Amino acid sequence: MLVAFQVRSLLERPKVNDQARSTSMSVLRYKKIGDRPFTALGSGWPHERFDMEHPEVAVLSVLDVCNQLIHYYWMQTLSVNRAFVSMLVFSDYQRHKWAYEFQIEDLLQLFRVFGNDSSAIVGLESQWDDKRQDYIVTRSWGAR
C-alpha cells in the first residue's frame, strides 16, 4: 500500500514520463452478484457476493491499481507453498461492482517501472492554465 501511495504521488505530479504514466496491468475481475452489499462486518465472504466462478480478464491503469490498494475496503491474500502469489482487493468505491485479483508478480513488475531510471522525465511541454493560475504539463518524455 505504501508503494502504491508513492507511485500515485509521482503520477499526480509531473514526476514520471508519459511512458511510465501509461503503464497498465492485466488483472482478473469478478462481478458483484445479487442485491446484498458486501460489508466487512456483515455476514458473508467475497465468494458469496462476487461471481468467483466466472472471472473476466481486464486491464487497469497504474493509477487504478494504486487506488484499489490505497482505498481498499477488502484485501485478501493467497499463498501457495508459503509464497505470496495473488491478492483479492476492492476499494470502497468498487465494492458494489467488482473485486479484482492481482498477481503479485505482475504487481511487482508494474511497480518496478517507477523504480527504473527510464521512468524519469528528461523533457516536457507545458501550457498555462488560467483557471489554475499555473502551468500544467501536457506531455513529458524520458530518454529516447
Evaluate whether residue 100 is within a structural domain.
Answer: yes
Evaluate whether residue 133 is within a structural domain.
Answer: no
Mean pLDDT of 83-87: 94
Mean pLDDT of 86-103: 92
Evaluate whether residue 126 is within a structural domain.
Answer: no
Is residue 43 predicted with pLDDT exceeding 70? no
Evaluate whether residue 139 is within a structural domain.
Answer: no
Mean pLDDT of 123-130: 91
Evaluate whether residue 20 is within a structural domain.
Answer: yes
| Mean pLDDT over each residue of the chain, to the nearest integer | 90
Evaluate whether residue 128 is within a structural domain.
Answer: no
Domain of residue 77, residue span: 2-119
- Total count of domains within the chain: 1
Mean pLDDT of 96-109: 95
Is residue 144 predicted with pLDDT exceeding 70? no
- Whole-number Cα distances in Å, 6 to 54, 84, 89, 109, 136: 33, 22, 19, 15, 21
Q: Which region among 26-35, 59-68, 115-124 has the lowest average model confidence (pLDDT)? A: 115-124
Q: How confident is the model at residue 1 (pLDDT cuts 50, 70, 90)?
A: confident
Evaluate whether residue 142 is within a structural domain.
Answer: no
Is residue 16 predicted with pLDDT exceeding 80? yes
Query: Per the structure block, which three cell numbers stand in for 98?
Result: 467488482
Q: Which region among 24-28, 96-100, 119-123, 125-129 has the lowest average model confidence (pLDDT)? A: 119-123
CA distance 144 to 53: 44
Evaluate whether residue 137 is within a structural domain.
Answer: no
HEC string of the chain?
CHHHHHHHHHHHCCCCCHHHHCCEEEEEEEEECCCCCCCCCCCCCHHHHECCCCCEEEEEEHHHHHHHHHCEEEEEEEEECCEEEEEEEEECCCCCCEEEEEEHHHHHHHHHHHHCHHHCCCEEEEEEECCCCEEEEEEEECCC
Comparison of pLDDT for 19 and 118, the residue scoring more: 19
